[in-house]
Amino acid sequence: MNEIRVRFAPSPTGYLHVGGLRTALYNYLFAKKNGGKFILRIEDTDRTRYVEGAAEQLLDTLKWTGLEYDEGPDKAGDFGPYTQSERLDIYKKYALELIEKGKAYYAFDTPERLQELRDYQYANKLQPKYDKLALNLTKEEVNEKLKAGEPYVIRLNVPENERIIAKDLVRGLVEFNTDIIDDQVLMKSDGFPTYHLANVVDDHLMGISHVIRGEEWLSSLPKHILLYQYFGWEIPEFAHLPLLLNPDKSKLSKRQGDVAVEDYKNKGYLKEALVNFVALLGWSTSDNREMFSLEELVEEFSIDRVHKSGAVFNIEKLNWLNAEHLRKKSNEELTNMLRSEYDKSRFAEIEVSDKYLSQVVEAMRERVSFVNEYIEKSPYFFERPTEYDQAVLQKRWKEDSSAFLKAYADKISEIENPTKEDYDHILHQLAEEWQVGIGKVIHPLRLALSGVGIGPGMFDLAFILGKNEVIARINLAIEKIKI
């Protein structure tokens, strides 16, 4: 195989799992790093789990992350269709070919018989697998049952006591004995293929050179290798990615937090941060660098640096990365993002200019990790405080605070267009005149302007609010705060 061709093949059963995003990302990075193609294929043959509209949502979410595929259901290529339910005739053809070769067989077992077999094996502590009973049927008996319309499946004919050795790009050599491999169902009674047949047939016909997928598929590898061998096809390279784990080392699940990419998108995480974070779940660079753009990930990625052990999903690291990526954005980008957030906030009816929002961005840039925090952490930029933090008030508001603030407001009112430096200079001037420390006067001023004891630079806040608003807030605080 000369051309590198990889694929991401999700099932439309709901949302895009972060583990699915990791698989898609590693395939994308491997393809782009090696000048290859990244293909999207929708594996919708399990009709019992199919969710209407899920395929479209998967495509939208993948596009949001920036992982552009070269071929897919909505991007024509030479190997379509790229949705498995549109390829049923292809799978049937190859299943029948296996039967002709004696590598697969019809099985007409009833659900009741299969349950009895499972119960017997469980009770006797035997390997749970099909007992090949259907192989005892003669060709004539099979034809009679087919003509009679009896329900059937097509099963893989696994040889007994053979070793299957395969090279995995992450785990090295892996070995299996066929005695522990079940005669896997390849075609179900509803006429749809199982994952195993459809996956191998499609990977071959679509020219997939490397199969990069999750560790949960490692146990299926010998079945797939057998299929490649039975068909006489070239076997692609395989890489099985480590499991994603909760902090307690259990398998990542919704019981302990969000697992859908859409959840993180809706919570305001940047796609750049999420992609960066997911890339580090099971892969690292030689210098342990942690901040990457998608383009930088393409340059740095190497499959031989993917770890064997499970990767812990650390939400604190994701939050840190989100903050770092947010701060790397330009003032203009952040202003546009804040505008979008502001227009759907409770303040939307209050008109503010982009220039004003830009000033808020500049003041709060180092204090937020998410765009919505520009509003949630500093609502005082958009409304006057009517209540004041009681803990700060009791600690910082003294008997002379009202008098000082009144004097400060009077001084500010005398300046036509006070600058940030004016707000600073007047406060220092008054503190010197009153012979008090700066802290004693700056804290009541912050409380009057914001209602809280922390925030951006005090004089940045005053300048952004403007002279009239500063004076109005001081007067309101003097009126409302009585000690």
The residues that are catalytic are 254
Per the structure block, which two tokens stand in for 54?
């899920």
Q: In the chain, count of helices (H) and strands (E)?
A: 20, 11
Do residues 261 and 271 touch, judged by C-beta distance below 8 A?
A: no
- Measured at the CA of 382, the angle between CA 269 and CA 471, to 5 degrees, comes to 145
What is the per-residue DSSP string for 381-417? GTS--SS--HHHHHHH--TTHHHHHHHHHHHHHTSSS
- Measured at the CA of 108, the angle between CA 104 and CA 114, to 5 degrees, comes to 100
Q: Checking DSSP bridges between strand 153-156 and strand 185-187, what pairing results, if any?
A: antiparallel
Rg (CA), the chain: 32
Backbone phi, psi, residue 203, to 5°:
-60, -40
- HSE-up of 196 (CA within 13 Å, CB side)? 24
What is the spatial distance between Cα 261 and Cα 283, in angstroms, rounded to a whole number?
A: 19
